[in-house]
Amino acid sequence: MTEVLQLLIYGIVLGSIITLGAVGLSLIYGIVRFANFAHGDMMTAGAYFAFFFVVTLELPMFVGFPLAMAGGALLAVALDRVLFRRLRRTSPVVLLISSFGVALMLRAAIQLVWGPSVQVYEAGIEFPIRFLGLGIKPDQLHILGGSVVIVVALHLFLQRSRTGKAMRAMSDNVALARVSGIDTERVILWTWVIGAALTAAAGVFLAIDTQLHPVMGWRLLLPVFAAAILGGIGKPYGALAGGMVIGIAQEMSTLVISPGYKPAIAFAIMVVMLILRPAGLLGARR
C-alpha cells in the first residue's frame, strides 16, 4: 500500500510537469492550429535557459525561473516570426514538417552550446521528507507548489483578461473571432508567449526533478501529446486532467510492467483514447 501511495506521489509530480507542457501544447494547437512537434525541445530549451541563469550567472532559482520562462517565450516568438508565420500562409501541414525540423535544430543547438552530457542545477543528494513511511523531496514540493501557482494564474488570465478571452474565442471559432474585431495575429503572438512560457516552466521542473540532457524534452513529447489528446486537444482545461492521468499512470505502471516500458504507457493510453473517444475526455464530438 505504501508503495502504491509513494508511486502516486511521484505520479502527481510527473503529472504536474506533463500538465504544464500539455496545456501549452493544447493552447498552441487550439489557436495557432498545428501540432507543434518542437514542443518537447522548447521544453529542453527552457530548462537550459534556467541553467544559464542559475549556474552560469549564479542567480537564485526564483529569479532564474521567470527569466527562463521569458527566454522560452522569446524563443517561440522568434520562431513564429521567422518561420511559422510565413508557413502558416501556405499550408498547415507544412508547419508540422517545419516544427519537426525545428525540434531537431533546437536539440542540436542546445547540444552545441551546453554539450551532450548530463548536467544538474545543484550537485548533491537531497534527503526526502518522511511522513507515514512516504517520502517526498523538498524539490518535488516546490514543483507541485509552482505548478499550482502557474495553473491558477493561467486560469485567471484565460477567464478575466481581455487577451485571455480573445484566446478562448479564437480557439472556439477563428472566423467568428475575426469578425468580432479580434486581432488574430496579436492573439497568436500571445499564445506563443504563454504556451512557451508554460513549456519552459515544465522543462525547468523536469530538470529539477531529474537532470538536464539535450533529449530530455523530446523524450517527454509523447506523454505531453498523449495528455493533450486525452484532454481533447485544443482544450487547455482538458489537458490539466490529461496530464495528471498520464503522469500517475506512467509511475503506477512500474508495479505491473518493466520500468523500461514506462514511456510506452502514455502511448497505450493515447491509442485506447483514440479508439474510444477521439474528442478527448472533456470534449464533445464536433
Cell (9 digits) for 122? 545543484
Task: For residue 264, state whether it binds other proteins (rule: CB under 8 A).
Answer: yes
Q: Which stretch binds other proteins (CB under 8 A): 63-71, 137-145, 158-166, 260-268?
A: 260-268
Question: Nearer to other proteins by C-beta: 29 or 65?
Answer: 29
What is the smallest separation between the CB atom of 234 and other proteins, expressed in angstroms?
11
Q: What angle do CA 64, 68, 72 make, to 5 degrees?
A: 175
DSSP element (H, E) containing 136: strand 134-136
**Phi, psi for residue 119 in degrees, rounded to 5:** -135, 165
Q: Which stretch binds other proteins (CB under 8 A): 143-151, 162-170, 244-252, 267-275?
A: 267-275
User: Which residues lie closer than 8 Å to 217 by C-beta, 6 or more apart?
Assistant: 39, 40, 41, 42, 43, 44, 45, 47, 107, 203, 206
**Phi, psi for residue 283 in degrees, rounded to 5:** -85, 140
What is the smallest separation between the CB atom of 85 and other proteins, expressed in angstroms?
11
What is the smallest separation between the CB atom of 110 and other proteins, expressed in angstroms?
9
Total residues binding other proteins (CB under 8 A): 45
What is the smallest separation between the CB atom of 95 and other proteins, expressed in angstroms?
9
Of 63, 78, 105, 156, the residue at the interface with other proteins (CB under 8 A) is 105
Residue pair 242/249 in contact by the 8 Å Cβ criterion:
no
Of 222, 252, 281, 282, the residue at the interface with other proteins (CB under 8 A) is 222
What is the smallest separation between the CB atom of 108 and other proteins, expressed in angstroms?
4
Of 52, 100, 157, 237, the residue at the interface with other proteins (CB under 8 A) is 100
Task: For residue 102, state whether it binds other proteins (rule: CB under 8 A).
Answer: yes
Task: For residue 101, state whether it binds other proteins (rule: CB under 8 A).
Answer: yes
Paired sense of beta strands 134-136 and 129-131, if any: antiparallel
Return the residue matching grid coordinates 505491473: 256
If DSSP codes are grouped into helix, strand and coil, which group holds residue 284? coil
Task: For residue 86, state whether it binds other proteins (rule: CB under 8 A).
Answer: yes
User: Which residues lie closer than 8 Å to 11 by C-beta, 6 or more apart?
Assistant: 247, 248, 249, 250, 251, 252
Which residues contact other proteins by CB under 8 A? 34-35, 37, 83, 86-87, 90-94, 96-98, 100-105, 107-109, 111-112, 116, 218, 221-222, 225-226, 229, 258, 260-261, 263-264, 266-267, 270-271, 274-275, 278, 286
